């Protein structure tokens, strides 16, 4: 009983209005205080959710940016491989056509895909020999005389079309037009380009 009395004394000392019948006010105060605390807790939860949403959006934006950068890099690399294969093959064929003495019409295939070009030319020692350019599988190859064939294009590219056309400007002047279509693919990215060039035979003028 003494403890109860002591507790009551402390309570009324803290809340004197309760002793005068103001217990209801004390209860209202306690209730209001509890609501405020819950509001503060609610605010902390809302802030946490907002921060989480912002972080989520930042993560999505960063991921999308990385994907775009990687896709752009892949596209640039494919274009570089495509142009390298095309320029390497074109340069070799046009140079050999210019240096050739004549075209072997019987050993060539014109105006159709896959085409074939056989040139009568000379080797590095000046001895007569032949050069053949043709499409095999997905690449352009060159073969000198009875030797083995050599690839002129990269394994990362695919030559979908190779067409040769013989052009006769006069009774002596001859030229060869080359039509080349190169394709390269990596994943969902695919590029295809056409290349053209014409070379005049040195031995025809």
Determine which of 29-33, 102-106, 166-170 has the lowest per-residue pLDDT on average. Answer: 29-33
At which residue do the structure tokens 């350019």 appear?
Answer: 133
For residues 146 and 38, the answer to whether their CB atoms sit within 8 Å is: no
Q: pTM of the full predicted structure?
A: 0.63
Over residues 72-127, the pLDDT tens digits come to 766 777 888 889 889 999 999 999 999 999 999 999 999 999 999 999 999 888 89
What is the mean pLDDT of the segment spanning 166-176?
Answer: 82
Determine which of 69-83, 90-104, 126-140, 167-181 has the lowest per-residue pLDDT on average. Answer: 69-83
Inter-residue long-range contacts of 67-74, CB under 8 Å, 24+ positions, other chains counted = 71/189, 74/186, 74/187, 74/189
For residues 116 and 102, the answer to whether their CB atoms sit within 8 Å is: no
pLDDT computed for residue 40 by the predictor: 47
Residue 13 has pLDDT above 80, yes or no: no
CA distance 105 to 200: 15
Residue 35 has pLDDT above 70, yes or no: no
Q: How far is CA 17 from CA 22, 29, 31, 32, 76, in A?
A: 5, 12, 16, 17, 82
Tokens, residue 67: 């994907």
Domain edges within the chain = 1-205
| Mean pLDDT of the residues in the chain | 80
19-38: burial string, b at 16+ Cβ within 10 Å, e else: eeeeeeeeeeeeeeeeeeee
What is the mean pLDDT of the segment spanning 13-42?
Answer: 51
């Amino acid at each position: 009983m003494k403890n109860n009395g002591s507790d009551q004394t402390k309570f009324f000392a803290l809340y004197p209005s309760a002793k005068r019948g103001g217990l209801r006010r004390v209860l209202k105060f306690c209730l209001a205080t509890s609501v405020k605390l819950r509001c503060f807790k609610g605010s902390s939860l809302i802030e946490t959710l907002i921060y989480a949403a912002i972080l989520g959006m930042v993560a999505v934006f960063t991921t999308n940016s990385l994907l775009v950068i990687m896709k752009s890099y892949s596209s640039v690399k494919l274009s570089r491989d495509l142009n390298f294969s095309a320029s390497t093959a074109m340069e070799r064929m046009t140079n050999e056509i210019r240096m050739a003495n004549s075209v072997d019409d019987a050993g060539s295939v014109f105006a159709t895909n896959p085409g074939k070009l056989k040139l009568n030319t000379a080797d590095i020692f000046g001895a007569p020999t032949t050069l053949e350019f043709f499409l095999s599988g997905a690449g352009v190859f060159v073969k000198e005389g009875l030797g083995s064939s050599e690839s002129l294009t990269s394994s990362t590219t695919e030559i979908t079309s190779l067409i040769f056309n013989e052009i006769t400007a006069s009774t002596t002047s001859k030229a060869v037009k080359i039509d080349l279509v190169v394709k390269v693919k990596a994943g969902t990215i695919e590029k295809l380009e056409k290349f053209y060039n014409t070379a005049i035979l040195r031995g025809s003028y």
